[in-house]
Structure 1
Amino acid sequence: MTDEAPRLIERPLAAGGASPEQETPAPATERDVVFESRDVNVYYGIFRAVRDVTFTVPKNEIMALIGPSGCGKSTVLRCYNRMNDLIKDARVTGSITYRGTDLYDERVDPVEVRRRIGMVFQKPNPFPKSIYDNVSYGPRVAGQKKGLDDIVERSLRKAALWDEVSDRLKDSALSLSGGQQQRLCIARAIAVDPDVLLMDEPCSALDPIATARIEDLMQEIKQDYTIMIVTHNMQQAARVSDTTAFLTADIHSENDTRTGILVEVDTTQKMFSNPSDERTENYVTGRFG
C-alpha cells in the first residue's frame, strides 16, 4: 500500500491524494473484476457470523447468493457497501477490494462507498414524498442542482417505470403498487450514478407478475451495472444470474448459534446442473435438510 489515498481505478473513492488523471490505468483483466474477496469474516462482538468467504465478482454480471435462512447471505452482501458498519460491535476481517481499492482502508469514506455501491432492500421503502422527489433525493443531497428533470426521467426509464408515472411525478410514491414501488427504489438507487447494485431479496414481497418485471429489468440494466442479489428463490437465481455462490450454516450445538460458510461458487449453469459439492446439489434439488 502506497501513501497515496485509496482510489477507484476510474474515479477517486477517498478525498486527498493525486487526481484521477494522474493514475496509471490498471490492466484490463484487473478492471474486469469489480469485487475481490479473500478470507472474509464477519463478527458481531466475539461471535463469528460468517467465516472465510472468498470469491470474485466480474463486471456487468449478476451474482446470486443462495442458501438456507441464517447462513449469512445478507450479512455477506452488506459487506460490499459497508452497511455492516452501522451495526453495533460488527467488524469485518479479511480483504474486500473494489476495483483494486481496499473497501475497508481507514481512508475510504463509507458514505462515498454507498453512493458508488447502491442497495435495494427486501421490502420497497419509498420515502413519503412525491415520485419525483424520491428519485431526485440522492442527487440533491450530493449537491446537484441542475439537470434534475433529466436525471429523474433517465433513472425512471432505466427502471422501466417512466411510461407508467411520467404524467404523475408529483403524486405520492406511496400511491404506487408494490412492484412499482420497488422499481422506484431501483430508480432512486441508480439516480446517483452507482457502479454496483446490491439487491437483498428484492422480490420476496412481490407477486409473480411484479417479480417477473424486476427480473426482466435486471437483465436489461446489467449492461450498465454489476449486480449482486440475495434470493431464496432457486428458480429466480437460475433465471437471472451468471454466477451463483452457495452458502450454508455451520451450526454450533453447544450454544445454538450459526456461522455462515461458503460452500462453492461457480457459473450458475454448473451450480444448477453439475455442482462440485454434494451439499450444493442437495440444496438446489430440494433435498437440503
Structure 2
Amino acid sequence: MADASVAETTSTNPLHLHDIVRDADQDPPAHQRELVFDLHGVNVFYGAFKAVRDVSFDVAKHEITALIGPSGCGKSTLLRSLNRMNDLIPGARVEGTVAYHGENIYDAEIDPVEVRRRIGMVFQKPNPFPKSIFDNVAFGPRLNGVRGSALEGIVEQALKGAALWDEVKGKLKESGLSLSGGQQQRLCIARAIAVEPEVVLMDEPCSALDPIATARIEDLMQQIKDKYTIVIVTHNMQQAARISDRTAFFVTEVNPESDTRTGLLVEYDETSKIFSNPSDERTENYVTGRFG
C-alpha cells in the first residue's frame, strides 16, 4: 500500500500546484525538441477488450514526461507498450504506430529483446533479485557478455548514476533485499541503467515509498535526465508538477453495458500549461480535485 503522504493528491489546491510547477522557460523551443517516441492512433487490447484507445503524442529526448489520470485509465498499459512489455501478456496486442526514432517498434522485423534493452523499466514496487547488490546490477551486463574489471566498472558507474554507490560500496556482496525500500528502488534503477538504455520507463516508482525516499527518487530523476529520457506514470499531482517537462492526462470511458473501462488521452502539453492553464475542462477538473 502506498504511504498516505505519497498517495494520489488530486484534491490539492491548484494554487499550490502552480507554485511548484516547473518553469516553462526552462524547456527548449518546440522546434529544438528531438523526438524519441512518436505515437499515432495507438490502441491497446487484452483479447477483445480495448484498454486504451486512439492515443497520439510524442516524447522528446532528455525530457521527463508524466502520464497522469484516475485509476483504470490505462496509464500503465500504455507505458508498457513503449517497450513491448505487453507482449508478455497472453492476448495483448497493440494497434497504431509506436515509433521509436522513426521506426515502429511493433514491425515484424523488430526484436523485442533489443527494444527492452534500449528502453528500460522500473516498476511500482521495488523488485530486487534475491541476489547480492553487485549481482543485481551486473545481471544485464553479464547477459551481454561483460566480465571481469569491465563488469566491476559498469556496476560502480550504475550505482553512482542511481545515487546509491556511497551507501552500498562496502557491502556489495550483501543481498539486495537487505536494503530499505527507497534503496531497493534506486538499486532497481541502477540495474535498469547498467545496460545503458536510452529511455527509462517508471511505473509509479514512488508509490510504495515514504516522503524522504520519494524526494531522493525525484532528485535522482532530475540528475539523470541529461543522460536518459524518462517517462513516468504517477498518481501524485505534486510529483508530476515538480519533476516533469510535459504531461499527458488520461480519463476513463466506462461502457455502461459491460462496465469495462477504456483509457483515453484528453490533453498533452507542457506541464506548466497542464497545471496552470489546461485546454480541456476535464483536465482542469482533475488537477483541481473536482474529480478523480
Normalised by the length of structure 1, the TM-score is 0.89
Residue of structure 1 aligned with 2:173, choices 163, 170, 173: 170
Highest relative contact order (Cα 8 Å, sep 6+), 1 or 2? Answer: 2
Residue 142 of structure 1: how far off its partner (Å): 1.3
Name stretches of at least 5 consecutive residues in structure 1 with no aligned partner.
1-28
Equivalent-residue separation in structure 1 for 2:103 and 2:62 (angstroms): 18
Equivalent residues, number = 261
The match for 1:205 is 208
Match of 2:98 among 96, 99, 110: 96
1:268: Cα distance to partner? 0.3
Aligned partner of 1:243 in structure 2 is 246
Distance in 1 between residues matched to 2:157 and 2:136, nearest whole Å: 14
Contact 1:31 1:99 in 2 (8 A): no
Query: What is the match of residue 64 of structure 2?
Result: 62
Alignment match, 1:15:
none
Distance 1:280 1:183 in 2: 32
SS at match of 2:230: strand
Instruction: State the partner residue of 1:277.
Output: 280
Alpha-carbon distance, 1:44 to partner: 1.1
Query: 1:145 aligned to 124, 144, 147, which one?
Result: 147
Partner residue, 1:22: none
SS at match of 2:117: helix
Q: Which residue of 2 aligns with 1:42?
A: 44
TM-score when scaled to structure 2?
0.88
User: What value does the CA root-mean-square deviation take over the aligned residues?
Assistant: 1.1
Is the 1:30–1:100 Cα contact (8 Å) retained in structure 2?
no
Q: Which runs of 5+ in 2 are unaligned?
A: 1-30
> Which runs of 4 or more aligned residues in structure 1 lie more than 4 Å from their structure 2 counterparts after TM superposition?
none
Instruction: Give CA-to-partner distance per residue, 1:101-159, whole Å, 9 cap, x none.
Output: 11001111001100100000000000010000000010001111240110011000000
Q: Which residue of 2 aligns with 1:80?
A: 82
SS of 2:269 mapped into structure 1: strand
Is residue 2:218 matched to residue 1:215? yes
Percent identity for Structure 1 against Structure 2: 72
Match of 1:232 in 2: 235
Secondary structure of the equivalent of 2:50? strand
**Matched residue type, 2:46:** Y
- Separation of aligned partners in 2, 1:238 and 1:117: 24
Q: Name the structure 1 match of 2:129.
A: 127
Q: Tell me how far apart the structure 2 counterparts of residues 52 and 179 of structure 1 sit (CA, whole Å).
A: 36
Shift of 1:47: 1.3
Give the drift of 1:200: 0.1
Q: Deviation string for 1:180-235 (max 9, x for gaps)?
A: 00000000000000000000000000000000000000000000000000000000
Shift of 1:30: 9.5
Do structure 1's residue 259 and structure 2's residue 262 form an aligned pair? yes
Do the aligned partners of 1:74 and 1:230 also contact (CA within 8 Å) in 2? Answer: yes
